[in-house]
A and B are shown apart, each in its own frame.
Chain A
Amino acid sequence: MSDDRVRRALRDTAIPEPPGAAERGRRIVAAAFAERRSGDRDGCSEPRGAMTPTTSEGRGRRPVPRLALGLSLAALLAVLLLSPAGAAVRDWVDEALTASTPKPEPTLAKVPGGGKLLVQTGEGPVVVRPDGSKRLLGGYEAASWSPHGLFVAAVEKRKLSALEPDGTVRWSITAAQRVAVPRWSPSGERIAYRSGFDLRVIAGDGSEDRLLAGSTAAGTSPDARISPAYVPPAWSPTGENALAYVTGAGRLRILDSETGAVLAGAPALRRITWMDWADRGRKILEAAPATIRLRAVLPAGHPSRPALGKARRLHLPPRATVNDAALAPQTPLVAASITHWRKHGTYSEVIVFEPGHGTRTLLSVPGSLGQVEWSPDGKRLLIAWPGADQWLFLPLGRGRGRAIADISRAIAPSGRPTSFPELEGWCCPSP
């Protein structure tokens, strides 16, 4: 076997790649570069560069990479665990693992707590039914549930489609620019989505597609529009027409989705990755890699004339990185998956915040956790653990948690895993 053959094999053999990986990286690097520049130049703008994103996959909740956080210490941990002197550390690791995580089961026989999961795999979005059976919806890049789980909004390049949960296409439109982050209104009558940097709204039957907010903002540095524009818009849960979104210039705005009028605005959290309405429309939750905060929406419960009040940070351990955050349906609880340093190394926790009542740590494991998603009844959490290739279903109250092993393979429609699946939503029990 010649060196040339090795070289050719390494260079040319197809290798798996998470969908959108290059683009996702480009956006994150562009955002980091823009942030560095804005720090350097204190707000001066530069001509729009090629790093400005033109596409988006996923739902904008993917955090900045956090792998590096644990790598160097992991090497140290390796040395410690494998040495005689590392026995105490090994005991500590055992204790941490056994104390917090249930024993994994080999298959997802049914969805604990019921409901249907929508999961983005390397082959496209997959619906996991309550009995654990799966259905690939097609080669779409991202998807989200309609409010009652009767339909799925899915995107692929410039195409936005409404699908039935078996993959049947109800309608499709082709937008002028790449489509991303579709979000269905609570009434099911409207879908808000991004096309390029534009925020648009379309009726649930595929008609009345219209521009709600354009991409250009006078006086805005083009580079400043890199990441905030891909934070998914969020509909007020009250059933009114209020739609919250983050502008390219990093402002949180509430719009009347019928008239396009700006109802309220305030600076969004720096480096915001995700936001949603909380506490039945009385607050807006914003998440960024190092911060989670709640901003009051005033007057409480009346988003037809809202104003944005003061923002209050939720307490996180020092230097914690927020992997994901999610709001419980019906209650003001907020769950967050975080990673931080402790005495022995990198640790991840799932914390549940009850505003006004404090916090509770639901899970603590070494290494990194991923996304977190509430069950439709708000009684349990689904926690992604990519490092262990598992999903953890943990009840909030008493009861047995469950861990499902080998998730990349179990969820991949072809059974050939290409990447750890992303959670897009856990929807309503079947009617």
Chain B
Amino acid sequence: MREAQEGSGTAMARLYSLHWRGAYRAAYLVAHDAAAAEDIAQDAFLAAVDALDRFDRRRPFRPWLHRIVVNRALDWARREALRRRVDGAESVFEPLPPPEEIGGEMIAALKELPAEQRAVVVLRHLLEYTPGEIARMLELPRGTVNSRLRRGLDRLRAAAEAERLAGERR
């Protein structure tokens, strides 16, 4: 980070290489849209470039980037949900077909969670932040983070179990 702040393109490239994959994956798992995830990940890095001079070197880069990524992915998912509701209610558009299952019962089940639960599950179990850190990143009470995590995991467990039973019946 220090070298990037001093203007080294190589250092900026290193930061990008280190963090792009994780940023994209986190954005995808919250938004469940590949094009949106690409834009969100890109946009987070552009925000990093813009804020490079103001960035406090004593603080780690990773959570700062992930905070942007997850919050923007969350905004995107909420907006999409809203758009579908408005479209469906007024029949302006044909209803969208059910989303394509992309493989892995866990990912499919994750997709069915509310966006707010997805975000905390991704922050906790993909990016491995503590509930306290997640609470700060999403500006939520810690109890809310814990309850969203618990509900999210319960629903993931239920989905995985249903899938397992269905597999046995087949």
Contacts and interface: CB of A to CB of B under 8 A. Distances in A.
A and B from one complex: yes
A41 B38 CA distance: 30
B157 to A, nearest CB: 5
A189 to B, nearest CB: 37
Interface of A is mostly: helix
A81 B38 CA distance: 27
A6 B83 contact: no
Interface stretch (B12-20, B54-62, B130-138, B139-147): B12-20
Interface string B73-95: 00110110011001100101110
Contact of A6 (B41, B50, B52, B156): B156
A388 B35 contact: no
B107 A94 contact: no
A65 B43 contact: yes
Interface residues of B, number: 64
A74 B75 contact: yes
Interface stretch (A22-30, A232-240, A262-270): A22-30
A93 interface: yes
A71 B79 CA distance: 8
Nearest to B97: A406
A409 B100 contact: yes
A67 interface: yes
Contacts of B46: 28-29, 32, 64-65
Nearest to A82: B82
B167 to A, nearest CB: 14
B160 interface: yes
A9 B104 contact: yes
A176 interface: no
Given A21-B24, A65-B39, A29 B96 contact: no
Interface stretch (A138-146, A298-306, A394-402, A411-419): A411-419
Interface in B57-75: 72, 75
Given A21-B24, A71-B76, A26 B16 contact: yes
A82 B78 CA distance: 12
Interface in A252-288: none
B2 interface: no
A106 B42 contact: no
21 contacts: A3-B153, A7-B125, A10-B106, A14-B103, A15-B25, A21-B41, A28-B42, A29-B45, A33-B49, A36-B50, A50-B10, A64-B46, A74-B78, A74-B79, A75-B79, A78-B82, A94-B86, A94-B92, A409-B97, A419-B35, A420-B35
Interface of A: 1, 3, 5-7, 9-11, 13-18, 21-22, 24-26, 28-30, 32-34, 36-37, 40-41, 46, 48-52, 64-68, 70-72, 74-75, 77-78, 81-82, 90, 93-94, 97-98, 101, 103-104, 106, 122, 223, 367, 386-389, 405-406, 409, 416-420
